[in-house]
Amino acid sequence: MNHRESRHKSAPRRDPAKGGERPAKLPSNQLWLYGAHAVLAALANKERKIRRIVLTAEALRSHAASIQRARALRPLPGEETTERQELDRLLPPGAVHQGIAVLAEHLDSPGIEDIGRLAQNRDHAVVMVLDQVTDPHNVGAILRSAAAFGALAVVVTDRHSPEETGTLAKSASGALEVMPLVRVTNMVRALEQLKEAGFWTAGLAGEATQTLAQAKLSGKIALVMGAEGEGLRRLTREHCDHLVKLPMSDLVESLNVSNAAAISLYELARDQDLAVPPASH
């Protein structure tokens, strides 16, 4: 059976303010994912509902084998080949799509209680907790680092954090499909729930008196990071068991939050066995 097909869809609407075209509004449960890593990971994720696969002929030649491997594992819609300019019109302005995109449904968000379940039979575990980190590129990069260093999940606030978008997914380079992204309405309550599940909470703060390495943290660790510039909010800081920092020279005031997260995750992973892959959504 040939799954490749060319179909004409309704044209995107014109944006009169810009004199150009803008993508048609999607239902609230759908989004466009784009870029090779993000799309191929989404196709391979059985928990991700895929509605359309749209790509250029060149991208189809490059990724046909990967798409067929994903299709062997579950039903997928047929590929729709199109020109790059048409793909530009389907996606948000400026989307770097590499000639491939899928229309998908949002993943179900796990709860904070699921983290305790995932960590139940582990001596060591790390969870990243982001306190109002708003930039989707940073959150996506942190998801990628969390997956690389074996973290269990990334926790974000429901407000003042990016939604699940194509930008976040592309920045995560496929990690959004394998790293649970947990949204919480109350950060302080979430930290208390993690403590009840056996986690020590460690906040990264410039005013800390010891470095992350000096703290010699072990067991189950929730590493809490604040927004770039503002850092941890007062209540969040007060509910951390430890405050730690990264050793830095006086030449710079701070690191980008995603860079700081990667360094911290590496430090925690050095002496702990965190290589167990995280559970999928």
**DSSP class of 227:** B
Average pLDDT over residues 109-129: 93
Alpha-carbon distance of 14 to 11, in angstroms, equals 9
Q: Does the residue 278 lie in any domain? A: no
What's the domain count of the chain?
A: 2
134 and 250 share one domain: yes
44 and 91 share one domain: yes
Q: Does the residue 181 lie in any domain? A: yes
Which 3 state secondary structure label does DSSP give 84?
A: helix
Domain finish residue from 86, 105, 124: 105
On whether the CB atoms of residues 47 and 107 are closer than 8 A, the answer is: yes
95 and 136 share one domain: no
Domain of residue 62, CATH code: 3.30.1330.30
The per-type count for the chain, helices as H runs and strands as E runs, is 10, 13
Phi, psi angle pair for 156, to nearest 5°: -130, 160
37 and 172 share one domain: no
Average pLDDT over residues 23-31: 85
Alpha-carbon distance of 12 to 86, in angstroms, equals 9
Which 3 state secondary structure label does DSSP give 156?
A: strand
Answer whether residue 281 shows pLDDT above 60. Answer: no
71 and 95 share one domain: yes
Domain containing 225 equals 112-270
Q: Can you read off the two tokens belonging to residue 252? A: 């710079």
Q: Does the residue 276 lie in any domain? A: no
Phi, psi angle pair for 276, to nearest 5°: -70, 125
Query: Any residues with CB less than 8 A from the CB of 256 and at least 6 apart, and which?
Result: 138, 228
127 and 197 share one domain: yes
Domain of residue 235, CATH code: 3.40.1280.10
Q: Does the residue 281 lie in any domain? A: no
Answer whether residue 7 shows pLDDT above 50. Answer: no
136 and 63 share one domain: no
pLDDT in tens, 180-195: 999 999 999 999 999 9
Chain-centroid distance of CA 80 in Å reads 27
The reported pTM is 0.86
